[in-house]
Chain A
Amino acid sequence: MHIVVSIKQVPDTAEVRIDPRTNTMIRNGVPSIVNPDDRHAVEEAVHLKEQFGGRVSVVTMGPNQAKDALREAVSFGADQGILLSDRRFAGADTLATSYVLWKSILRLNSEAPVELVLCGRQALDGDTGQVPPGIATRLGWPQLTSVLRVDEVNLQDRWIKVQRMVEGGREIVRAKLPCVLTCTREMNVPRYATFPNMVKAARYDPLVWDREALGIDDESQVGLRGSPTIVSKVWAPAPRQRGATVWIDGSDPDQAAEQLIPILINAAKNQIERLQDPAAEVSPENPANGAERPRVPATENGPDNRPSNVAKHG
């Protein structure tokens, strides 16, 4: 079975610093990592390959530096890594990104029929989760997002059964193959690279596919031109103004508890009233709910975080 994994190299957001004067990211010295969710996608692919045979192809769109991410995937057991790179791909939003990834899957599919496309659930930096649905929609294949576990793969009858995370619980779903899955960190525990794989990866030179290799004639679909969305403005949010911290001495737990109780009870009282009167639930702002809401300016007329005056921002 041929499995394609789409990965992304991301800056480690824990390390990102912002230049306070220009409001831009300071990229110098920020380590790049394989997006954490994508590591689980690679692991799942390698695991399925071990069960069913076949091959794992890993693709990523990005600059030359993203080859490191592909080498890392090879060190975890992927068979090949392909960098999708072209000057014209730069500035792509999720729609334009899914276009290029789609084209690469079409090419891989023509080399050996693809049964599964695995992606991470979302990227650490963009955090949109929009690219996988874009890929699936373009392919016309079913998408199963936020997969917690693969229960069964039936290559004979060509279907897959998975458990996926949904609001309020989990869902067991069956989909026809080929299909697109997005992987969560609950799905598996990524392995460490074996020594032979590390050696292999260090020497591995990923393939590079550009526009031509992908058969992209229509430049209006890729990069900045193919992106309906633009980032118009970036600014550092002002921290919400709060009063000075009221310090409570924690050295005597019981005394501290006594001081904290009234604060907690206020919230609890409101929760109980909501449970007793389901109608109240639809209106958490309803002052009839009884509990005090100290320190919340402007909730009655819309929260203060919603500028009605666009000019101020634009």
Chain B
Amino acid sequence: MAEDLPGRTTDAIPDFSEYRGLWVYVQHRRGEAAPVSWQLLGVAREMAQQIGVPVGAAVLGHNVRHLAEDAIKYGADVVYHIDDPVLEDYRTQAYAHGMAALIRNHKPEVVLYGSTIHGRDVAGAVATEVKTGLAADATELSIEEEGHLLHASRPDFGGKLMSTILCKRHRPQMATCRPGVFPTPPPDPDRKGEIISEPLGLREEEVATQVLEFIPEPHQVDLSNADLIVSGGRGLGGPKAFEMLFELAEAAHGVVGASRGAVMAGWIPYQHQVGQTGQTVRPRVYVACGISGAIQHMVGMQDSDIIVAINSDGSAPIFRSADYGVVGDMFQIIPALTRHLRALSPPARSNGPTKTPQGTSSERSGPGPISEGSTKDGPSN
């Protein structure tokens, strides 16, 4: 903490003038970008404009030149690109090796990563490799015009406090940043940028891991991109009650979230967890069912446009943050909601109560050219 730092601030800050530009690590799986990559290009662009430096994007992979082009559309001036068959699958060792080499060769002053499983995995390794500071899970970013010091702030202690992390004596200043917090900038197809290709300099035999198989989760939980989240807490009483949430989510084209309590109780997998130790979400509508509103949950969903709380206990803290509060029996109200929604959109019904958003979307959209939100060959624009 700050009071433990006597003397440090008097040390001279090294000359960092050769470090220039704000970079974003473009996270993807086999060529499909994670939305957070573009979100971070947006915030990097804003900060770069403010201090007058270029925005860089690091794109590592195999046959992913389309991502380099996308990065320019989303705001990169220069893309540092490594294409190598060794990078076909994400593996820490190979990606961290390539990323560290790009950083050493091109000396960015800031590098941002998504605080996703992938982003944390690679950023932790790169920071250790290049011996620099890494702030974790930032939800606010800003940069000083003088000295270009990055302020990376994040909620701490279960969201009760915010702390700002600085990295004064090392470059690049790195941070992982929470997905869904920074808005995606509109892509500009006419933006021009430069793509610089570099070799990886690592042979397959030197990589100690091998990805044998990828198993997509049967019901994909994409909380961070959902417009509607129906979330359940301990008030639901057990795993059975989550079925009623899945039905409502399906009828309303939303996804199911959960509080930490419900996840810890084993009622629903961790991937559904919203909150400080789960995911941060900002849907248009967040329906909290049987969630008391612990601070650790609130920090993960308080930026939702509209919060609806349904709870039998009218004094639950969740109501203090709710735009709409319904005090009553969830086990009556939720099925009633589902019934009313289905009555409004009969086609969703004929497919039976499938729980996958894919099933629902193809049903809703008819025989049109819809990609069903597939994770394999999404749009590359």
- A residues contacting B by CB (< 8 A) are 11, 13-14, 16, 18, 23-25, 90-91, 93-95, 98, 122, 124-134, 136-138, 141-146, 161, 163, 165-176, 179, 184-186, 224, 227-237, 239-240, 242-243, 245-251, 253-254, 256-258, 260-261, 263-268, 270-272, 274-276, 278-279, 281-286, 291, 293-296, 299, 302-303, 305-310, 313-314
Contacts and interface: CB of A to CB of B under 8 A. Distances in A.
B186 A267 contact: no
B365 interface: yes
Nearest to A237: B162
B133 A229 contact: yes
A174 B212 contact: yes
B276 A127 contact: yes
Contacts of B326: 247-250, 256, 260
Contacts of B87: none
Interface residues of B, number: 131
Contacts of A274: 227
Contacts of A144: 209
B165 A302 contact: no
Contacts of A235: 161-162
Contacts of A283: 184, 186-187
A173 B156 contact: no
B170 A166 contact: no
Contact of A133 (B1, B124, B140): B124
B117 A146 contact: yes
A18 to B, nearest CB: 5
A95 B125 contact: no
11 contacts: A94-B134, A142-B208, A175-B210, A224-B8, A230-B8, A249-B327, A261-B341, A261-B344, A268-B252, A279-B379, A279-B381
Given A246-B324, A305-B139, A263 B306 contact: yes
Contact of A233 (B2, B209, B270): B2
Interface in B144-163: 144-145, 151, 153, 155-163
A245 B29 contact: no
Contact of A232 (B164, B169, B277, B379): B164
B34 interface: yes
Given A130-B124, A237-B162, A172 B228 contact: no
Contact of B336 (A228, A246, A257, A266): A257
B365 A172 contact: no
Contacts, number: 379
A93 B93 CA distance: 23
Interface of B: 1-2, 4-5, 8, 29, 34, 38, 43, 46, 50, 90, 92-93, 96, 116-118, 120-121, 123-125, 127-129, 131-137, 139-145, 151, 153, 155-170, 181-184, 186-187, 208-217, 220, 225-228, 252-254, 269-271, 276-277, 283-285, 287, 294, 296, 302-303, 305-308, 310, 319-329, 332-333, 335-337, 339-341, 344, 361, 364-365, 368, 370-371, 373, 375, 378-379, 381
A272 B365 contact: yes
Contacts of B153: 313
B333 A257 contact: yes
Contacts of B378: 278
Contacts of A275: 253, 361, 364-365, 370, 373
Nearest to B207: A142
